[in-house]
Structure formats: structure tokens, C-alpha cells
């Protein structure tokens, strides 16, 4: 099979039929063998009913319905597990991503041997305050922390080698930073293609201000995982050892100074009345806790097991 199109969605019943027909027309005109995977992320409208009808009309249409809303990352994860095409293309279901871009994205993977190609919506039709400005801020921060020179990390329109999606773990809300996850897994051939962006035709945007905070926290998480995800002891162990040594030396100095004054008959106070004693003691305790955090992190990595992050209600 040439292409798997993975489409996560939430309450997009009005756009699904039009999107399907558009994708099918592109596939047929380019003679691609394909499958369309709709991942219904707990929609409360008639989205799953529409997907079921489309699957009866077109055997290339498949679907997964979640029991409830688990998030876009979980939907992509489920789609990636089921995808079988040599090239996997992701897009949003709101018709803001143009299926006309599919052949170009496919060719960049096949002909140019890219591992991943990310779309770049250079000209956008979103609200500047709610989406454009936060996106530019996140993209700037992601470029600085990841070393990838992409303009639009969060663009839903991307293409991948099948091998890539089978080896990256998209969780939480990390769908914004899939290129960083791919790079972290050793897939360094990451490209970018300018794609057409269209104004939303049906429904309302799912973007909320909470995603601004979540995106920033996810960026910090992925930076940490990229730097120390496979070696937490290198960070926590180093910090913990340093703090413990500082606290130990400070405690030794306080004790030695106390003995020196007692030996020479110099008036002194109780060690427990010296604030520096408690600072040194707290530093040693924090250092020990950091060291143990690194050690426990190493143990968790070695005993890591996959967990069930979502519940599937139906599959077609």
C-alpha cells in the first residue's frame, strides 16, 4: 500500500464527507493505493455515524472510535499503530489542511528519502491573538531547544516513512513536537514543505487558551526528555552529589569551628542555634533526594512497560 492517511477528529460531522471525497479524488487521479484512517476522539455529534457510512461506501475507509475524548496525541498514536501504508500522512479533519498537498508530501518521502516532512502554513487564516501569535512563540522556542529549523512544528499536515511512526511514542500532548520526537529516535532527515492553509469552513476551532500553557509545559518536558530522558542520573545524580558535598563540607566546617573555639576557650553558641547548621543540613537532605530521584528514574527506565492510555469503543 502506498499511503495511509491518518485523520484525528473531534465533532467534525459536517466536514467528513467533503474531506473523504477530496482525498479519494486525489488518490484516484494519482493512482495511489491507500487507506483513510479516521480516529474519532470521543465525538458527541454524528461523526462516527458518518465514518461508518463512508466505510460502507469505500472499503479503503477505516475508523477507530474512542470511548471518550483522550486528546489528539492519543488519536495519532492509535492511527499510527494501525497504519500500513509505506508513507503515512496526517491531516486535520476541519478542511483547513488541503488534500491537494498529498502527492507532494508523498514524493518528498519516496524520491528525496526524507524520514519526515512537516507542513508549513506560511499564510494562515486563523485569529492572530488566539493562534498565530502563540504558534510563532512556540515555534521559535522549539527551534531554539530542538535544533530543528522548522517554521511550523504544530502543523497537522505531515508525511512520514512508515518506520518512523512505528518507532515514535506520541503521548500526552506531544503531537505538537513530533519532529523533535523523531529526531530523538535518530530520524535526522527531516524536511519542510510550504502548504496551503484554508479558513475553517464548518464548526468552531478547538483551540483554547489552556493549550498555550500546555504547549509551553510540553516544550519543557520534551527538552528535558531529549537531554536527559535516557540518563536521568546524569542530571539528578550530578546535582544531588554537588549539593550533598556542599552541605557536608559546610557541616564539617561548622563542627570544626565549634571544636576550635571550645579548645581555645572562645565563647560560642550551640550548633543547633546556628542558622547555617540548618541550611547545611537541608542542603544535604535535598542533595540526597535528588540523587535518589535520578536512581529511581534509572530503575523506571529499565522496568518500563507500556500502559493503556485510551479505551477504544469500536473499530471498522
Higher-pLDDT residue of 213 and 95 is: 95
Q: What is the mean pLDDT of residues 246-272?
A: 88
Percent of the chain whose predicted confidence (pLDDT) is above 70: 86
Express each pLDDT in 43-54 by its tens digit.
999 999 999 999
Q: What is the mean pLDDT of residues 271-298?
A: 90
Distance between CA 44 and CA 123 in Å, rounded? Answer: 32
Do residues 47 and 40 touch, judged by C-beta distance below 8 A?
A: yes
Confidence of residue 99 (pLDDT cuts 50, 70, 90): very high
Burial of 51 from C-beta contacts in 10 A (0-12 / 13-18 / 19+): buried
Q: In what order do the strands lie in the sheet with 34-40?
A: 190-194, 116-120, 158-161, 87-90, 3-9, 34-40, 61-66, 312-315
Please tell me the least confidently modeled range out of 142-156, 183-197, 299-313. Answer: 299-313
List helix spans (H) across 95-203. Answer: 102-110, 133-146, 162-167, 178-184
Phi, psi of 108 (to 5 degrees): -65, -35
Given a cut of 60, whether residue 130 has pLDDT beyond it is no
Confidence of residue 210 (pLDDT cuts 50, 70, 90): low
For position 42, what pLDDT does the model report?
95
Beta bridge partners of 88: 4, 160
Buried b (16+ CB within 10 A) or exposed e, 218-256: bbeebbebbeeeeebbebbbebbeebbeebeebbeebee
Identify how many contiguous H helices and E strands the chain contains and give both numbers.
11, 8
Do residues 68 and 311 touch, judged by C-beta distance below 8 A?
A: yes
Given a cut of 80, whether residue 193 has pLDDT beyond it is yes
CB atoms within 10 A of CB 210: 8
Widest CA span in the chain: 98
Contacts for 108-112 with beta carbons within 8 Å, 24 or more apart? 108/159, 108/191, 108/193, 109/159, 109/160, 109/161, 110/86, 112/191
Confidence of residue 243 (pLDDT cuts 50, 70, 90): very high
Task: Classify strands 312-315 and 61-66 as parallel, antiparallel or unpaired.
Answer: antiparallel
Reading the block at residue 55, the C-alpha cell is 466505510
Instruction: Quote the mean pLDDT of the chain.
Output: 87
Distance between CA 162 and CA 116 in Å, rounded? Answer: 10
Q: What is the mean pLDDT of residues 179-187?
A: 89
Do residues 124 and 96 touch, judged by C-beta distance below 8 A?
A: no
* pTM listed for this prediction: 0.74
Given a cut of 60, whether residue 295 has pLDDT beyond it is yes
Amino acid at each position: 500500500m502506498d499511503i495511509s492517511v491518518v485523520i484525528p477528529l473531534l465533532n467534525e460531522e459536517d466536514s467528513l464527507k467533503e474531506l473523504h471525497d477530496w482525498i479519494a479524488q486525489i488518490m484516484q487521479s494519482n493512482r495511489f493505493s491507500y487507506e483513510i484512517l479516521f480516529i474519532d476522539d470521543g465525538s458527541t455529534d454524528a461523526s462516527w455515524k458518518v465514518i461508518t457510512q463512508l466505510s460502507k461506501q469505500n472499503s479503503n475507509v477505516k475508523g477507530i472510535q474512542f470511548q471518550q475524548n483522550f486528546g489528539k496525541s492519543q488519536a495519532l498514536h492509535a492511527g499510527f499503530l494501525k497504519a500500513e501504508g509505506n508513507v503515512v500522512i496526517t491531516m486535520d479533519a476541519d478542511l483547513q489542511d488541503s488534500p491537494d498537498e498529498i502527492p507532494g508530501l508523498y514524493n518528498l518521502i519516496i524520491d528525496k528519502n526524507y524520514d519526515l516532512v512537516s507542513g508549513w502554513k506560511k499564510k494562515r487564516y486563523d485569529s492572530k491573538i488566539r493562534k498565530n501569535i502563540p504558534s510563532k512563540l512556540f515555534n521559535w522556542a522549539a527551534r531554539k531547544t530542538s535544533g530543528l529549523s522548522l517554521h511550523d512544528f504544530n502543523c497537522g499536515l505531515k508525511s512520514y516513512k512508515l518506520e518512523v511512526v512505528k518507532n515514535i511514542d506520541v503521548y500526552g500532548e506531544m503531537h505538537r513536537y513530533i519532529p523533535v520526537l523523531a529526531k530523538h529516535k535518530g530520524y535526522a532527515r527531516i524536511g519542510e514543505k510550504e502548504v496551503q492553509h484554508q479558513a475553517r469552513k464548518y464548526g468552531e476551532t478547538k483551540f483554547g487558551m489552556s493549550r498555550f500553557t500546555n504547549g509551553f509545559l510540553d516544550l519543557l518536558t520534551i527538552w528535558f526528555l531529549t537531554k536527559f530522558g535516557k540518563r536521568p542520573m546524569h542530571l539528578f545524580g550530578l546535582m544531588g552529589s554537588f549539593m550533598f558535598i556542599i552541605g557536608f563540607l559546610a557541616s564539617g566546617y561548622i563542627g570544626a569551628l565549634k571544636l576550635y573555639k571550645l579548645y581555645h576557650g572562645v565563647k560560642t553558641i550551640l550548633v543547633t542555634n546556628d542558622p547555617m547548621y540548618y541550611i547545611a543540613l537541608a542542603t544535604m537532605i535535598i542533595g540526597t533526594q535528588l540523587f535518589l530521584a535520578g536512581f529511581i528514574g534509572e530503575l523506571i527506565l529499565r522496568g518500563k512497560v507500556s500502559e493503556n492510555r485510551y479505551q477504544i469503543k469500536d473499530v471498522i
